Amino acid sequence: MSTDALTDPFSVSAPVPPPGPTGDRYEDDPAFAFHRGGKLEVSSSVPLRGRDDLSLAYTPGVARICTAISESPELVHDYTWKSRTVAVVTDGTAVLGLGDIGPAAALPVMEGKALLFKKFGGVDAVPICLDCTDVEELVETVVRLAPAFGGINLEDISAPRCFEVERRLRDRLDIPVFHDDQHGTAIVVLAALTNALELTRRKPADTSVVISGAGAAGVAVAQILLAAGVEDIVVTDRRGALHPDRADLNPAKRALALTTNPAGLTGGLGDVLAGADVFIGLSGGEVGEALVARMAPDAIVLALANPTPEVHPDVAARHAAVVATGRSDYPNQINNVLAFPGVFRGALDVRAAQISEGMKLAAARALAGLVGADLAPDRVIPSPFDERVVPAVAAAVAQAARREGLARR
């Protein structure tokens, strides 16, 4: 995951330790013991007890399946793993806040993502770490791999290339393509914010939001909030607020500048945060207590950098009515695992051609609705271990796909 997203399910409650020991001393580190040999294996879903099973699993029986699929391509979903399997694809350029560590070093994270897909969503996932960073090469490689999968989960590809990779894959493939660093984060943020607004008696159209970070997550969060009816959004990067008059914006930031910041605010984060109702941190760095104190009464603070939030939750709580982080040791953890297993489960169940904005909004509404009567300042989002999460999100996504004509069954 990029340093912009910072809401990965691999949340930690303490700073990331320095590189581990060398040689035999790896055995002294429980993390190395846990990962030895990898975290995944391939297992058979059918018996192979003798000659008869062998003749069905492989030649000659498999030829009948191949012929049927050749004549009716949609049968591939019924007679292979395609309908329940996604590819988790990365180039290793923006991993877990570690940055550009390359495809081999990214493999443990992709294995972990696949583990979460299976554990939480019952979705099989295959880690694919590509030794290329060129947009064209990434797109062409994934297109050629796609026939074996029911969906593509893009992961830890640095911005702004990730936007172009996702857009081009969506244009060329007829299976769901989902960049979790963007859209998984956005879904969970919207769900938490929906409940936080209810608690503080605000309406989306009357709420002012400041987003720190204009990378993958920042762009997607701004877009989903706009789609949900939030009109007053200011996005900042290292050089200050995005606005159309800035000459240093890449295409993704320029497009965002044209749809946000309706008052045309300029200046840095401190300038635009004064009086704001909501702060969403997706960039790291530090936001001082004095800046939080200048926000509107009953403010909402989502400080999502991991492992160190932009503002410590105890400090934010002195001035804000609702505080959320990406950490597991504080209330209101904004965790992508609340989104991606259910989103893909729902999309695969109806053989959706893509994951639309409407499907993402439906996922966020379903997540928010699970809190129900338990809604409180320290309970605006369900736990990742709430067994209702994946079924609710999957059902909402599937229904939205049918409603939009994207379902093929």
Mark the binding-site residues for a divalent metal cation, compressed into ranges.
Answer: 155-156, 181
**Residue 272 contacts by C-beta under 8 Å, 6 or more apart in sequence?**
210, 234, 236, 241, 265
CA 352 to CA 402: how far, in whole Å? 8
DSSP state of 114: H
CA 144 to CA 131: how far, in whole Å? 15
Residue numbers belonging to the annotated binding site: 155-156, 181, 306, 335
> CB of 320 within 8 A of CB of 301?
yes
> CB of 342 within 8 A of CB of 389?
yes
DSSP state of 356: -
CA 90 to CA 102: how far, in whole Å? 9
Which residues does residue 325 pair with via DSSP β-bridges, in sequence order? 303, 333
> CB of 277 within 8 A of CB of 209?
yes
Pairing of strands 299-303, 278-281: parallel
**Residue 5 burial by CB count (10 A; 0-12/13-18/19+): exposed, middle or buried?**
buried
Tokens of 232: 């007053």
Tokens of 308: 């160190």
Would you tell me the crossing angle of helices 389-403 and 102-121 to the nearest 10 degrees? 90
CA dist 165 to 91, 117, 158, 168, Å? 11, 22, 10, 5
DSSP state of 339: T
CA 285 to CA 282: how far, in whole Å? 9
CA dist 22 to 30, 74, 101, 106, 121, Å? 14, 50, 18, 19, 36
Residue numbers belonging to the annotated binding site for (S)-malate: 306, 335
Q: Catalytic residue numbers?
A: 58, 113
